[in-house]
Amino acid sequence: MFNKFDSIDELKRSVYMWMLPIITVALVINSFLNKQSQVDMIINSTLIFWFSVSWVLAFINRGIRFGEYSNLLLVSIYHVFTLFDVVHNDLAITGGSLGDFIVWMPLIIMFFFLVLGTKRGLYFSIFIFLITLTIAVIHSGQLTSEPIDSLTQFHAANIVYILVLFYAQNMFRAFTERDFFKKHAYIDSLTRVANRHQIDAWLEVKLAAAEDDKKPFSIIFFDIDHFKKVNDEFGHKIGDCVLKELSAIIAGNLTDGDHFGRWGGEEFMLIINDTGGQVYEKAEHLRKIVENHCFKGAGSLTASFGVTEFQSGDNIDSLLNRADEALYASKNSGRNKVSVKEPS
């Protein structure tokens, strides 16, 4: 029930799987405990039968959309007819109030929005609201003050529920879109690892912690050797696959606290909490993993690594300059190597 859903359809299916049995049981109890007319029995029996069929459709994950729209039609007819029946045969004759009829109203409106979406759900909810309001107005001359008050409260609550659900859906959509764009603003679209924007943010946090809390860290800067030849020989599609495959390899060999991202092009960066020889060993381990891996479509490739660690007074530029110098030292000494640039 509390799984993470990848789509709105999966979420709706889960809602139907849990809600339909509860509603069906409530209808069965209502049918047995209340004296009902033959028409009421037919409507309740139809709903019980069709809710059961709809649950089976949801269970086997087939024809769910058909089940939604057929239930939408039945529920709408039930809602309008029941209100008419209560007003015409009960309130107009014996007085009193709507009673437990209003209990299901929020769920019914919620179902309209769930099936039809925000805009169409709003229009359809207002359409049903106007029908029930017309019924109330037509019978208002036959009603005493108590049922009139009950109907007034019912329709006032009805319009409030419609507006609340409408604005809530828009609010949730706005938050979802904000989170989506925020997430993707920090993720490289090709490799699905952190992008340069995220790396800069990490470095700012790490530099502040290193200065204020004496928490040193190191960075490992690396890129793929002769990557231009990969693109020239095999094409950019294979080149993109190599970048994605490399990202997956490195991401699969991270430890807790490591930050990994794509700096740009074929260049990548690791930010780790280790210092000294541990950083070199980490970089050497990753270098060997890359060297021993066979990239799909491109075969064996290597990578060169540059390592440096934080020193007091560093900023992003000074830290990256040292890492860049170490990387070029590896390039200039034959590639497929790890070089360390010690703080001066």
The pLDDT, as a whole number, for residue 137 is 92
Alpha-carbon gap, residue 268 to 199, rounded angstroms = 10
With a cut of 50, say whether residue 76 has pLDDT above it: yes
Q: Where are the beta strands (DSSP E) in the chain?
A: 218-224, 259-264, 267-272, 294-295, 299-300, 303-309, 338-340
Is the Cβ–Cβ distance between 12 and 114 less than 8 Å? yes
**How much is the pLDDT for 170?**
79
pLDDT single digits (tens) 27-48: 888 777 776 667 678 878 888 8
What was the pLDDT predicted at 228? 94
Q: How far apart are CA 47 and CA 115, in angstroms?
A: 17
Work out the average pLDDT over 162-186.
75
Lowest mean pLDDT among 111-120, 165-174, 300-309: 165-174
What burial letters (b/e) apply to 248-270, b meaning 16+ CB within 10 Å? eebeeeeeeebbbbbbeebebbb
Q: If pLDDT is split at 50, 70 and 90, which confidence band does 52 have?
A: very high
Predicted confidence band at 180 (pLDDT cuts at 50, 70, 90)?
A: low
What average pLDDT does this structure show over 101-111?
Answer: 81
The yes-or-no verdict on residue 253 having pLDDT over 90 is: yes
pTM reported for the whole predicted model: 0.53
Backbone angles phi, psi at 100, to 5 degrees: -75, 0
The answer, yes or no, to whether residue 258 has pLDDT greater than 90, is: yes
Roughly what angle, to the nearest 10 degrees, separates helices 118-139 and 145-185? 180
When pLDDT is cut at 50, 70 and 90, the band that residue 184 belongs to is low
Average pLDDT, the chain: 88
pLDDT at 2 over 60: no
**AA letter at 296:** K
Across 107-137, b (16+ Cβ under 10 Å) vs e yields: ebbbbbbbbbebeebbebbbebbeebbebbe
For the cut 60, the answer to whether the pLDDT of residue 111 exceeds it is: yes
